[in-house]
Amino acid sequence: MERIYIGMGSNLADPAEQLRSAVDALAQLPQTELVGVSAFYQSDSLLPGQPRYTNAVAALDSTLPPLELLDALQAIENEQGRERLERWGPRTLDLDIVLFGDRLIDEPRLKVPHYHLQARAFVLYPLAELAPAGLRLADGRCLTELLAACPFVGLERLPPN
């Protein structure tokens, strides 16, 4: 089993409900155990004129190979109405493999650690809720250092519901 962290985001069709449905779907994946889910956060969209996003991170323990897990995540996105019309466009659901154990993955379809992790407060802060203290990424970067360099700006931690 490897510990895997999944970044989740939505800004369409009741985003909090989209994330709750995604968590339920993650818990049903074969060879996988849902270990935890961060609080939900709201963040500004990367592009102007879009609704705010609701984001969270889920922790999984799984024996699924990386590309098989990616296929399963994309199937969940599709089941929840994801349409890939424009890069960084609004979406019902976005599921990204942020970290996959201690692996560095550089495949055409998958880059791990996630390639913009250091600039994404909406991933780093939820990840920090679940990751062990002093977590060092497979590429050598320390989560604590990434957090210190990425201010909690434009981000709002939502109360549990």
Report pLDDT digits (tens) over 27-37. 999 999 999 99
Per annotation, catalytic residue among 61, 96, 106, 141? 96
Q: What is the pLDDT of residue 88?
A: 61
Q: What is the pLDDT of residue 87?
A: 64
Active site residue 20: no
In a 13 Å sphere around the CA of 135, the CA atoms on its Cβ side amount to: 20
Q: What is the pLDDT of residue 84?
A: 66
Distance CA 123, CA 128 (A): 9
Beta carbons within 10 angstroms of residue 17's beta carbon: 12
Per annotation, catalytic residue among 20, 24, 44, 82? 82
Q: What is the pLDDT of residue 89?
A: 63
Q: What is the pLDDT of residue 86?
A: 64
Per annotation, catalytic residue among 44, 91, 106, 139? 91
Per annotation, catalytic residue among 24, 94, 109, 141? 94
pLDDT < 70 positions in the chain: 84-89
Active site residue 94: yes
Q: What is the pLDDT of residue 115?
A: 79
pTM of this prediction?
0.94
Q: Which segments of 11-160 are extended strands (E)? A: 32-37, 41-43, 53-62, 94-100, 105-107, 110-112, 155-157
Active site residue 87: no
Active site residue 24: no
Distance CA 44, CA 122 (A): 9
Q: What is the pLDDT of residue 106?
A: 95
Domain boundaries, the chain: 2-157
Superfamily of domain 2-157: 7,8-Dihydro-6-hydroxymethylpterin-pyrophosphokinase HPPK (3.30.70.560)
Q: Which segments of the chain are extended strands (E)? A: 2-10, 32-37, 41-43, 53-62, 94-100, 105-107, 110-112, 155-157
Give residue-wise pLDDT tens across range 38-67. Answer: 999 999 988 888 899 999 999 999 999 999
Whose tokens are 């296929």? That residue is: 71
